[in-house]
Amino acid sequence: AESAETGTSADEVVELTSAPGLVADAEGTEVAAESVEIEAPQEATDPAEEAAIESSAEPELVEETEEDLRNLDPEVLRQRAAARRKSEEQDRKQKLADTVAARKAEEDAKKAAQEAAQKVATAEKVAATQGDKRPKRLHDAPAKVAEREADDNRRSKPGRGRLDRSNMAPGRGKRRGHNLSLSDIEAAESGLGRARGGKRRRSGDEPNQHGFEQPTEKIIYDVELPDNISVGDLSQQMAVKAGVVIKELMKLGVMATINQMIDQDTASIIVEELGHRIKLKSDDELEEQLEVTLASHEGKQEPRAPVVTVMGHVDHGKTSLLDHIRSSRVAVGEAGGITQHIGAYHVKTDMGMITFLDTPGHAAFTAMRARGAKSTDIVILVVAADDGVMPQTEEAVQHARAAGVPIVVAINKMDKEGADPDRVKNELAAKDVIPEDWGGDTQFVPVSAHSGEGIDTLLESLLLQSELLELKAPADVPANGLVIESRLDRGRGPVASLLVQQGTLKQGDIVLAGLQYGRVRAMLDENGQPVKVAGPSIPVEILGLDGTPDAGDPFVAVESEKRAREIADFRQEKQRSSKLARQQAAKLDSMFETMTAGEVKTLNIVVKTDVRGSLEALQSSLSDLGNDEVKVNVVAGGVGGITETDVSLAMTSNAVIFGFNTRADAKARDLAENEGVEVRYYNVIYDLIDDVKAALTGMLSPELREEIVGIAEVRDVFRSPKFGLIAGCMVTEGTVSRSKPIRVLRDSIVIYEGELESLRRFKDDASEVRNGTECGIGVKNYTDVKVGDLIEVFDVNEVARSL
C-alpha cells in the first residue's frame, strides 16, 4: 500500500528502509535516526534566513500521479532514489561537523580560562614564598590535609588496576617534608609534582626552580703566565677546552698537543685573543725571596783563609806540588797519574791557613776548571820549566781572567835538566801575563815539587796576595757556598763536597743544594774525620741529601725543611719544563737534518762514573765526537755502580755500558752476560774517549778511491759476425785487465762507462794485456767505438776513514 501511495516499487522501498540511519514513516517521509551520541542543539531560525533558504532551495517537483510513476522506467526510479539518499547523507554530515566544531570551540575557551587562572595562582604563591626561604613541612598545610583525605577516599573505592596517584599528596618517605629543598616545596605547593620516573612535570611558563640564572656577559679571568706553560694548564686558567687553545695556536702556525709547553709570548697572544687579562708571573719569585732572605743576614765581617786553586796543563806537577805542601802522596793513588776530579784540602802552614782546590788538567775537564776559577780567590798556574806553555795553560789563564782572580805562576820541575824559566816567562808574556821583574803584576816563583825547592817562597807569595785582597766573611749567619763535587756512595748514599764561603755550617742544618735538599746527618773533613761545624773557606763532605747535586751548584742553609722542599720542587719542575721545550725544538731540527743529510749512524752508550764532575766531563767530551755520518748518543748517565736497571736500559736501546771508576754488581754482571750486553771499565778518562773514537771510526763508511790501471788507444775498428764490433788497440799505459770496469773517452770526455766483453791477443783470449802490446777489445753493450778513442781501465779501492 505504501509503495502504491509513493509510486515506488517494493524493491525500492526495501532499499530505502535498509539505508543506515533512515526510517520510513506512514506518510512516505524519511526521518534521520540518531546515529551519533551528540545531538545538534535546536536553534531558532531568523525569518530572513528562512526566506533566503526558501529562495535558494530547488523548486518543488510537481506531484506525479500513480499512473505516471507506473509508466516511468524502473531505472529512472532507482536513479531518483539514489540521488535522494546522497542528498540526505550530505545534509547529515554537515550538521554533525557543525556540532563538533561548536563543541571544540567551547572546550578551548574553558581550557584557556583554566590556564590563565592557574598562572595567576602560581605567580601569587611564588611571590608569597620569596620572603621566607626556610623549608616547610608539607603535612602542616591545611590544604594538604584535605588532599590527603581525598586520597584516602580514592583508595577505599572498589575496582581493579593501579590507583591513580597523579593528584595525591606526598604522604610518605622523603616527600613528607624532610630533606626537601626550597624548589621541591615550591613545586609541591604549586601543584607541580614529579611524574613517574623521577622527572619533574613542568608547564611551559614555569619559572626556573633552582634559582640559577645564566650569565649574560662573558667572565674575564686573570691568567697567570710563567715563562713556560702547557696548553692544558693555560686552558684551565681560562675555563675553556684545550681544543679552543689548540685552534688558536694553529691560527698562529704553532702545532701543539695538550701536554706540550709554549713560551710566555705565545701564551700572551692566545690570552688576548680569547679576551682575558694577562698577569705575567716570574719563575724566579721563590729564588728572589731566597736572595732577599740571604741578604737580610748581616753578620760581623771577620778575616778568612784564602781559597787557592791549582791549575795548569796535564802532567805539569800540580798534584805533586800540593802533595809536598800537604806532606801526602795523593798523586801516587791517581789513575794514570792524573787528577780526574776536584780535590779540596784545608792546610795549616806556619804562615797561616790556606784552602787548596786541585783541578784536573786534562782537556776533558774544561767545565771543572772553570768552576774552580769561579770559586777561588787566587790561582796558582803551574807550568813545567822543561815543557813550557801548553793548551790547557792558556785555557787556565783565560778562566782566571774571566773570573777576575789574580794569578801566581809556579815554574815547576826546576830540578830537571833542560829547565828554562826564561822560556816560560817569554811565552806567558806573549799571553799578557807579565812578571813583576819585567814591570808586570804577576809573581813568578821557581819551585820543585820533587825536592821542595821554592815551596816556602810560594806560600809567602800566596799569603801576601791574600792580605792585599783583604779577604773577610761573616761567620755568624746561615752557611752558603758552592758544591765542589758529589758522588753516590754504596754504604752512605749521596755524598757532597761543599766549600763554605759565608757563615757557619753545622751538623743538623737543612741544606738546599741545587735541585737537592736534606738535613746534614754527618760532616767530614778531607781526611775523613768527623767535624761538627765548618766556617768560611772550609771544605767539608756532608751526608743526608736526597740526591747528588751537580758540581758547581750553590748551596744554602735554610730555616725549615718545608721551604727547602718547596724551592727544590720548583727548580726540578722548571728544569723539566725547559728540557721538554728543548726536546720539542730538537725534534723538528733533527727531522730536517735527517731529511737533508740522510741516515746518521749512532753509537748508544750508558755512562756510570764515581763522581758527578767526571760524568759531566765525559758527557761533554763524548758529545764533541762524531760528524755528519756518526755520532754518540749518551742514553743515560749517572753516579754510582752499574745496576740491573742500567743493563736493562742498555739492552733495550742496544747500547754499550761504560763504567768509569765503577763496577757492576753480581746480578748486573749475570744479566749482562745472559743478554749479551757489553760492559767496559776504565779508570783513565782519555782511554775511554779514545775507545769511543775508535768505535765511531769503525762505523764510518769507507772512502772509495779510483785508481787508473791502464789505458788503451783505439787504432782500428773491425766487425766480426761472431764477436760483433772489435776495437784494435795498443796499450799505452799500465795494464788492461778483463775483469775491471772501463771508460771510453773521446776528446778527453767520457762518453761511456761499463765493462769489457772480450779481450783477445791475436786469436787467443787474454785475462790482461801489458803496456806496449796490441790487442782486440770488445766493449759490452756499446758499438760506437771509433778510431782515436781511449779505453781507460780503472779500479775502485775502499780506504778506511778516521774522525
Query: What gap in Å lies between CA 350 and CA 353, rounded to an integer?
Result: 8
**DSSP 8-state code for residue 438:** G
- The answer to whether the beta carbons of residues 344 and 551 sit under 8 Å apart is no
What does the pLDDT read at residue 527?
79
Least confidently predicted of 342-356, 447-461, 515-529, 627-641: 342-356
Helix segments in 404-514, DSSP class H: 421-430, 455-469
How far is Cα 481 from Cα 539, in angstroms, rounded to an integer? 10
The number of CA neighbours under 13 Å toward the Cβ of 6 is 20
Contact present, 482 and 355 (Cβ < 8 Å)? no
Confidence at residue 56, expressed as pLDDT on a 0 to 100 scale? 44
- State the sign of the Cα–Cα–Cα–Cα dihedral 469, 475, 478, 484: positive
Per-residue pLDDT at 149 exceeds 90? no
Q: In this model, does residue 426 exceed pLDDT 80? A: yes
Give the residue-averaged pLDDT of 38-64. Answer: 45
pLDDT tens digits, 566-580: 888 888 888 887 777
The amino acid present at 157, given as its one-letter code, is K
C-alpha grid cell, residue 389: 806553555
Bridge-based pairing of strands 378-384 and 222-225 is: unpaired
Instruction: Tell me the H-state helices in 624-684.
Output: 644-653, 666-675
In whole numbers, what is the pLDDT of the chain averaged over residues? 76
Q: Is 392 exposed, middle or buried (0-12, 13-18, 19+ CB in 10 A)?
A: buried
Distance (Å) of CA 597 to CA 593, 627, 699, 702: 6, 11, 17, 17
Q: Determine the pLDDT at residue 25.
A: 41
User: How many Cβ atoms sit within 10 Å of the Cβ of residue 428?
Assistant: 25
Q: Give the pLDDT confidence of 630-663 residue by residue, as tens digits.
A: 888 888 888 888 888 888 888 888 889 999 988 8
pLDDT of 204 strictly over 50: no
Contacts of 362 (CB under 8 A, 6+ apart): 314, 338, 340, 392, 617, 685, 686
- What does the alpha-carbon distance between residue 188 and residue 205 come to, in Å, rounded to a whole number? 16
Gap between the Cα atoms of 479 and 124, Å rounded:
76
Lowest mean pLDDT among 58-62, 431-435, 665-669: 58-62
Calculated CA dihedral for residues 539, 540, 542, 546, nearest 10 degrees? 10
Mean pLDDT, rounded, for 404-420:
84
Averaged pLDDT for residues 269-298? 80
Are β-strands 736-737 and 768-769 bridged in parallel, bridged antiparallel, or unpaired?
antiparallel
The predicted structure's pLDDT at residue 766:
87
Choose the weakest-confidence range: 281-285, 516-520, 712-716, 731-735: 281-285
pLDDT tier at 8 (50, 70, 90 boundaries)?
very low
Stretch 707-720: mean pLDDT, rounded? 89
> In 554-627, where does DSSP find H-type helix?
561-597, 612-623
Confidence band for 591, pLDDT divided at 50, 70 and 90: low
Q: Where are the alpha helices (DSSP H) in 415-522?
A: 421-430, 455-469
Task: Determine the Cα–Cα distance for residues 308 and 345; give it in Å rounded to an integer.
Answer: 10
Task: Show Cβ contacts of residue 241 under 8 Å, excluding neighbours closer than 6 positions.
Answer: 235
- Residue 585 is predicted with a pLDDT of 57
- CB of 785 within 8 A of CB of 723? no
SS3 682: strand
What's the rounded Cα separation, in Å, for the pair 711 and 742? 9
Percent of the chain's residues with pLDDT above 90: 10
Quick one: 627 exposed, middle or buried, by C-beta within 10 A (0-12, 13-18, 19+)? exposed
Type of residue numbered 297: H
In total, the chain counts a number of residues equal to: 803
Out of 74-78, 80-84, 327-331, 799-803, least confident range: 327-331
Evaluate whether 440 touches 479 at the Cβ level (below 8 Å). no
Question: What DSSP state is assigned to residue 626?
Answer: B
What does the pLDDT read at residue 58?
44
Nearest-angstrom CA–CA distance, 375 and 405: 10
Range 266-272, long-range pairs (CB < 8 A, 24+ positions) = 267/225, 267/229, 267/234, 268/225, 270/234, 270/245, 271/223, 271/225, 271/234, 271/238
For the chain, give the percent of residues with pLDDT over 70.
73
| Chain-centroid distance, C-alpha 376 | 40
Give pLDDT tens digits for 217-276.
778 898 988 877 889 989 999 999 999 999 999 998 888 889 888 888 899 999 999 999
Indicate the helix (H) or strand (E) that contains 277: strand 277-280
pLDDT reported for residue 30: 40
For residues 408 and 371, give the distance between their C-alpha atoms in angstroms, rounded to a whole number: 18
What would the grid cell of residue 273 be?
Answer: 685573543
Least Cα distance to 790 among 723, 734, 719 occurs for 734
Whether residue 305 has pLDDT greater than 70: yes
- Name residues whose C-beta falls within 8 Å of residue 156's C-beta, 6 or more positions apart in sequence: none
d(CA 334, CA 252): 58
Instruction: Count the helix, strand and coil residues of the chain and give each as a percent rounded to the nearest 5.
Output: 40, 30, 35
Residue 129 clears pLDDT 50, i.e. is over it:
yes
Lowest mean pLDDT, pick from 321-330, 377-386, 466-475 = 321-330
pLDDT bucket at 461, cuts 50 / 70 / 90: confident
Query: d(Cα 148, Cα 793) in Å, to the nearest integer?
Result: 119
Q: Indicate if the pLDDT at residue 582 is higher than 90.
A: no
Grid cell 769511543 — which residue? 692
Calculate the CA dihedral of residues 521, 527, 532, 538 and round it to 10 degrees.
Answer: -110
d(CA 647, CA 669): 9
CA atoms within 13 A on the CB side of 103: 11
- Classify 261 as helix, strand or coil: strand
Q: Which residue has the higher pLDDT, 373 or 666?
A: 666
Measured CA to CA, the distance from residue 411 to residue 392 in angstroms comes to: 15
- Dig out the grid coordinates for 578 from the structure: 725547559
Whether pLDDT at 511 is above 60: yes
DSSP codes, 81-131:
HHHHHHHHHHHHHHHHHHHHHHHHHHHHHHHHHHHHHHHHHHHHHHHHHSS
The long-range contacts involving 39-42, CB below 8 angstroms and separated by at least 24 positions, are 39/99, 40/95, 40/96, 40/98, 40/99, 41/99
Tell me how far apart the alpha carbons of residues 611 and 687 are, in angstroms, rounded to a whole number.
Answer: 18
Pairing of strands 768-769, 774-779: unpaired
- Decide if pLDDT at 59 tops 60: no
CA distance 573 to 579: 10
